[in-house]
Structure 1
Amino acid sequence: MCLCSAAPPDKEGRCGDYQLLACCFGTLCVILLLVVIGTLNVSESRNTNLTGENLQLKTINKNLADQVKTMKAAWNEFSGTLAQKSVDAYCPKVGSVRTCQACPKDWLLNLGNCYAYNDAKYSDQRTWAGAREDCSGKISDLTAVNYVFTISVPQTGITGFWIGLRAVNGIWKWINGTNLINQPAADGQCVTSLSGSGWRSVSCSTPNAWICEKKAVSV
């Protein structure tokens, strides 16, 4: 508290005003100081939070980088394995010599294409969709040519081979997108082929053998 020294009567009012002003100014300074301290505390808290978040982001980035590195290593290993499988499939090794061919081992070459006849026993035969999935795993698809049934293949216990032709919205459609015109089609039906018997329309869910097709390679 500010005190005024003794003063003539005509100066007492002025001293009181000065004292009040000084007290108000002091109070304002205290308030400002508290505001500054509070602001500094909030700023420090935010900086601490940001530092923590930055550390979390760095940890996340490191984990992502490690995952990418692991995935790259796995991909390189897979690519190497796949490449080796391709070499072994197209260039089988007999003794110490590799002999390359246009089609993988056990596939038949015909007019620039390779065909795999999956003449499985009945318990291992597949639906049309299952057969196509198997072909996809062999980097091929169900055959989409209409003369393939003329090729002689083992037929013991085989009633037909799935080919890449099925009914879609009332139209016979090849898997390559072309339509078979002037032929009625019922959805849920797919086509099998058998040497000497032509085509048959059967339920796509019926198990059958199947034929995969892919392009032959140049050797």
Structure 2
Amino acid sequence: MNLTTDVQNLVTQNQQLETQNQQLETQRNNLTKQIQDLETNWNKLNVSRAQWSIDAYCPRTNNGRQCAACQNGWFLYMSNCYVYNNAAPDHQKTWEEARQDCRGRGSDLVVVQSQEEKDILKAVSVGSSGTAGYWFGLRAEGGRWKWIDGSNLTESYWTPQPPPATDSQCVMSVQNYNWIPVSCDQKQRWICVMKALSV
């Protein structure tokens, strides 16, 4: 009698384990399909991004594709590509919004690393005056002027000398004024930079 009961219990446990195994198998199959779908979508996205890069740097012309070191609308200087966003007042951005726009383009706000780069900023700021200028990658942090790459300001780039760094201030390039600090929440035009491609 006890042996029969034990056998029935084992049969019941076996059936339960088989049911659990089937459920786990179904879950595994579902997860495998999700992984395959994610891989397919990832591959499609990579192809799409690659195509965008090709189109951005090598646009189609009547003679096929003509490749350039910078995307259409950007200008090359030395080993960098620059774009200045000469937005109308109602489309201008705060410093943080401008930085997000640059990052969305695979670039960032300009970090001035030479007198030549400072001159480029001044050149593209043509047409701006007073408090209308262009954001670049310098702001006050902890009472110091800091570049977005984390380095401190090299004072020789500021003419004549930088003013005290007041948190919540960012710097813009203004024609005839060089660099001026203003509230980071002010809306301005902005300049993005990225490394040029070797073509």
Tell me the TM-score range normalised by the shorter chain.
0.7 to 0.9
Of structures 1 and 2, the one with the larger relative CO (CA 8 A, separation 6+) is: 2
Distance 1:170 1:153, change over 3 A: closer
- Choose 1 or 2 for highest CA Rg: 1
User: Is 1:155 aligned with 2:135?
Assistant: no
Q: Which stretch shows the higher mean deviation, 49-58 or 125-134?
A: 49-58
Give 1:190's aligned residue. Answer: 170
User: Is 1:139 aligned with 2:106?
Assistant: yes
User: Structure 1 length normalisation: TM-score?
Assistant: 0.77
Percent of pairs with identical residues: 40
- 3-state SS of paired residue (1:116): strand
Q: Distance in 2 between matches of 1:164 and 1:177?
A: 10
Tell me the CA shift for residue 141 of structure 1. Answer: 0.6
Tell me the CA shift for residue 154 of structure 1. Answer: 5.8
Q: Distance in 2 between matches of 1:114 and 1:50?
A: 63
Tell me the CA shift for residue 121 of structure 1. Answer: 0.9
Quick one: which of 86, 89, 93 aligns to 2:60?
93
Give 1:10's aligned residue. Answer: none
Give 1:166's aligned residue. Answer: 139
What per-residue deviation string (whole Å, max 9, x for no partner) do you get for residues 42-77 of structure 1?
323322222222122211111111111111111111
- 3-state SS of paired residue (2:124): coil
- 3-state SS of paired residue (1:214): strand
What per-residue deviation string (whole Å, max 9, x for no partner) do you get for residues 81-133 of structure 1?
11111111111222132211111101011121000111111111111111111
- Aligned ranges for residues 45-194 of structure 1 at < 5 Å? 45-145=12-112, 147=118, 148-152=120-124, 155=127, 159-180=132-153, 183=162, 184-194=164-174
Tell me the CA shift for residue 181 of structure 1. Answer: 5.8
Q: Distance in 2 between matches of 1:44 and 1:190?
A: 75
Q: Is the 8 A contact 2:143 2:167 kept in 1?
A: yes
- What is the root-mean-square deviation of aligned Cα atoms in Å? 2.1
- 3-state SS of paired residue (1:163): strand
Runs of 4+ displaced beyond 4 Å:
none
- Aligned positions, number: 186
Quick one: which of 195, 199, 202 aligns to 2:182?
202
Runs of 5+ unmatched residues, structure 1: 1-32
User: Structure 2 length normalisation: TM-score?
Assistant: 0.84
Tell me the CA shift for residue 152 of structure 1. Answer: 3.3
